[in-house]
């Protein structure tokens, strides 16, 4: 029977994948053709969703984007046997957009049926865990340390060092907490892993549990991700039934239990200590550190808190070894980064590459330039707390240290492009506004400063034309407020809101009613 693939990833669904799938099934029935429909994850070429594939002897071939109205024509053209059709794209694996990538964490994404455990295992799943179960906790931690993996949630802290602290913290109960709050705008790689390859996250968390001696894991999931919730729960249930989770994982005598907990729409709860408060059933107020969560985390017990991508990268490291992973990347940024292309780009989607590619390659080679066809004027990298970069910085390689040299961050790897119609003063205002909406309220600079920031930005918009002397004062006030927030905030919400604000002001002064020289001075 011919296999036809129609993705079930949220983005594909948001563009009508369910209707396309139903149309294909109905048309096949009408024509008395037997097909096997598989709802796979997305390959990540989101501008081409719904992205339909047909299995052939030579490999899977793609037709995209397929709307229900295209379906009868596809059957007429005999697309099940690679018949000629305007939507035909050839072999999926040969598409240069995919071929140029280095998919390690995303190796299976878009290829397998996300909830099929057999499919997962047939595509190298659970090999990492098999190795880990034959190793000591310290040896597993060493592999993770040697791989050079740094946390992909934003702070880029070495994962192995964090695990080592938890390993060496004596306690009856320890926890693995997966940070799946993915609050950063412009990012969706966590969502894709959870919807399109959930077992890789489950396996990664299980390995973490085995490594540090934790028997309970929690996935703290954004409330805005209803599809991910369903897929994760189904996968956890199947993994439990098959003995990959539970009291005796794979007959090893070791226990690991996993549960998904829904977040409740507070951005700050992506901050790890706020997240722990939330998991404990409290308001998500950020905790003072120390103590580190690794020492006193969830319910006061030693806890590993890691991002989805960090954890989902563990299985391939344990499968192929530390060196295999460390061989990718540049400088102190080892391995690969799943980059998410978003905003005003012709070809938005998921690009996993070794660290070191430039922003320009991503925006133009992969992104295909702006969707509107106008020049790309500004790019925000790393979510709502990330800096805005002008064209002159597009040659910066994606590397944690290179980005920090230009006062920018890679964060969770989201890239949001804006064309020349963007008003950067408005974006600066929005950054303050977002901070004001999401502040946990614990520190004054963040709570009050952000609200003041919105007010001042409104005054700047008004005084731009009319009143030069008060205008200069308002600009100075933005700088002073930013300074106070940078230095007086407990967490990065208040502490990094100045990144988008000041980068907008410094790189795009004309939008604030200044000329370039005034700012350079």
Partner 1 sequence: MTTVLTSQENARIDACIEAHRKMPGALLPVLHAIQNDLGYVPEEAYPQIAHALALSVAEVHGVVTFYHHFRRHPVGKHVLQICRAESCQAMGAEKLEAHVKSALGIDYHQTTADGAITLEPVYCLGNCACSPAVLMDEELYGRVDSQKIEAIIHEARVSA
Task: Supply the minimum distance, in Å, between the C-beta of residue 145 and ligand FES.
Answer: 33
| 389 is an interface residue for partner 1 by CB under 8 A | no
For ligand FMN, the closer of residues 224 and 259 by Cβ is 224
Please tell me the total number of residues recorded for the chain in this structure. 521
What are the structure tokens assigned to 217, written together? 């894991």
Q: Which residues bind ligand FMN (CB under 6 A)?
A: 151-155, 157, 179, 181-183, 268, 270-272, 305-307, 310, 491-493
- Antiparallel, parallel or unpaired: β 333-334 and 414-419: unpaired
Task: Supply the minimum distance, in Å, between the C-beta of residue 235 and partner 1.
Answer: 18
Stretch that binds partner 1, among 223-231, 313-321, 465-473, 510-518 (CB under 8 A): 223-231
Q: Which residue of 4, 6, 15, 435 would you call a contact of partner 1, by CB under 8 A? A: 15
| 443 is an interface residue for ligand SF4 by CB under 6 A | yes
Give the C-alpha separation, 453 to 474, whole Å: 10
Residue 305's binding partner, choosing from partner 1, ligand SF4, ligand FMN, none, with beta-carbon cut-off 5 to 8 A by kind? ligand FMN
- Antiparallel, parallel or unpaired: β 52-56 and 88-91: unpaired
SS3 content of the chain, % helix, strand, coil (to 5): 50, 15, 35
Closest-CA residue to 191 (of 408, 400, 13, 387): 13
Task: Supply the minimum distance, in Å, between the C-beta of residue 285 and ligand SF4.
Answer: 7
Helix (H) or strand (E) holding 354: strand 349-354
| 240 is an interface residue for partner 1 by CB under 8 A | no
Torsional sign, CA 297, 298, 303, 308: negative
In this structure, what DSSP letter does residue 428 have? H
Spell out, one character per residue from 483 to 512, where the chain touches ligand SF4: x when CB under 6 A holds, - when not. Answer: ------xxx-xxx-----------------
Give the C-alpha separation, 247 to 508, whole Å: 57
In this structure, what DSSP letter does residue 365 have? I
Give the C-alpha separation, 339 to 187, whole Å: 8
Q: Which residue of 36, 78, 94, 224 would you call a contact of partner 1, by CB under 8 A? A: 224
Closest-CA residue to 379 (of 365, 395, 359): 359
Q: Which residue of 137, 151, 302, 349 would you call a contact of partner 1, by CB under 8 A? A: 349
For ligand SF4, the closer of residues 436 and 460 by Cβ is 436
Q: Which residue of 281, 466, 517, 520 would you call a contact of partner 1, by CB under 8 A? A: 281
Residue 114's binding partner, choosing from ligand FES, ligand SF4, ligand FMN, none, with beta-carbon cut-off 5 to 8 A by kind? none
What are the structure tokens assigned to 312, written together? 């989902």
Q: Which residues bind ligand FES (CB under 6 A)?
A: 185-186
| 371 is an interface residue for partner 1 by CB under 8 A | yes
Give the C-alpha separation, 7 to 113, whole Å: 9
Residues with Cβ within 8 Å of residue 238, at least 6 apart in sequence: 115, 117
| 442 is an interface residue for ligand SF4 by CB under 6 A | yes
Are 411 and 385 contacting, i.e. CB atoms less than 8 angstroms apart? yes
In this structure, what DSSP letter does residue 372 have? S
Task: Supply the minimum distance, in Å, between the C-beta of residue 23 and ligand SF4.
Answer: 47
By CB under 6 A, name the binding residues for ligand SF4: 268, 286, 439-443, 446-447, 489-491, 493-495
Please give the residue ranges that form the binding site for partner 1 (CB under 8 A): 10-11, 13-15, 46-47, 49, 182-188, 190-191, 222-227, 261-267, 278-284, 299, 340-344, 348-350, 371, 380, 384, 414, 416-419, 422, 427, 430, 434, 437-438
């Amino acid at each position: 029977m011919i296999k036809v693939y129609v993705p079930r990833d949220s983005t594909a669904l948001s563009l009508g994948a369910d209707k396309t799938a139903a149309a294909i099934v109905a048309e096949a029935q009408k024509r008395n053709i037997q097909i096997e429909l598989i709802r796979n994850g997305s390959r990540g070429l989101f501008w081409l969703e719904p992205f339909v594939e047909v299995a052939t002897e030579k490999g899977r071939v793609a037709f995209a984007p397929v709307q229900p109205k295209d379906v009868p024509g596809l059957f007429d053209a005999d697309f099940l046997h690679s018949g000629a059709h305007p939507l035909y794209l050839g072999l999926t694996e040969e598409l240069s957009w995919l071929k140029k990538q280095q998919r390690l964490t995303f190796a299976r994404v878009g290829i397998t049926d996300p909830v099929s455990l057999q499919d997962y295992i047939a595509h190298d799943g659970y090999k990492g865990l098999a190795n880990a179960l034959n190793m000591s906790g310290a040896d597993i931690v060493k592999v993770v340390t040697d791989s050079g993996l740094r946390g992909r949630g934003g702070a880029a802290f070495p994962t192995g060092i964090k695990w080592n602290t938890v390993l060496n913290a004596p306690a009856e109960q320890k926890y693995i907490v997966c940070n799946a709050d993915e609050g950063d705008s412009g990012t969706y790689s966590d969502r894709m892993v959870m919807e399109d390859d959930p077992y890789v996250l489950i396996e990664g968390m299980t390995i973490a549990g085995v490594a540090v001696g934790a028997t309970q894991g929690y996935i703290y999931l954004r409330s805005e991700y209803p599809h991910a919730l369903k897929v994760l729960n189904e996968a956890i249930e199947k993994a439990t039934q098959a003995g990959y989770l539970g009291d005796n994982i794979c007959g090893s005598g070791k226990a690991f239990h996993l549960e998904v907990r829904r977040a409740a729409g507070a951005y700050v709860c992506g901050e790890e200590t706020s997240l722990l408060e939330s998991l404990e059933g409290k308001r998500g107020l950020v905790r003072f550190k120390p103590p580190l969560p690794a020492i006193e985390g969830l319910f006061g017990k030693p806890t590993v808190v890691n991002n989805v991508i960090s954890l989902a990268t563990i299985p391939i490291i344990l499968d192929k070894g530390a060196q295999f992973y460390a061989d990718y990347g540049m400088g102190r940024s080892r391995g690969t980064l799943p980059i998410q292309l978003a905003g005003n780009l012709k070809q938005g989607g998921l690009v996993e590459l070794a660290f070191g590619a430039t922003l320009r390659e991503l925006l133009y080679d992969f992104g295909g330039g702006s969707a509107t066809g106008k020049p790309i004027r500004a790019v925000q990298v790393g979510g709502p707390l990330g800096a805005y970069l002008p064209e002159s910085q597009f040659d910066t390689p994606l590397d944690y240290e290179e980005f920090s040299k230009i006062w920018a961050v890679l964060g969770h790897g989201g890239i949001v492009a804006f064309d020349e119609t963007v008003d950067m003063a408005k974006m600066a205002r929005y950054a303050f506004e977002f901070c004001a909406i999401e502040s946990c309220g614990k520190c004054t600079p963040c709570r009050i400063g952000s609200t003041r920031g919105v007010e001042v930005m409104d005054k700047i918009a008004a005084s731009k034309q009319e009143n030069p002397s008060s205008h200069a004062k308002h600009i100075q006030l933005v700088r002073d407020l930013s300074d106070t927030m940078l230095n007086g905030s407990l967490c990065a919400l208040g502490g990094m809101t100045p990144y988008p604000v000041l980068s907008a002001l410094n790189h795009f002064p004309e939008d604030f009613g200044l000329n370039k020289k005034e700012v350079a001075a």
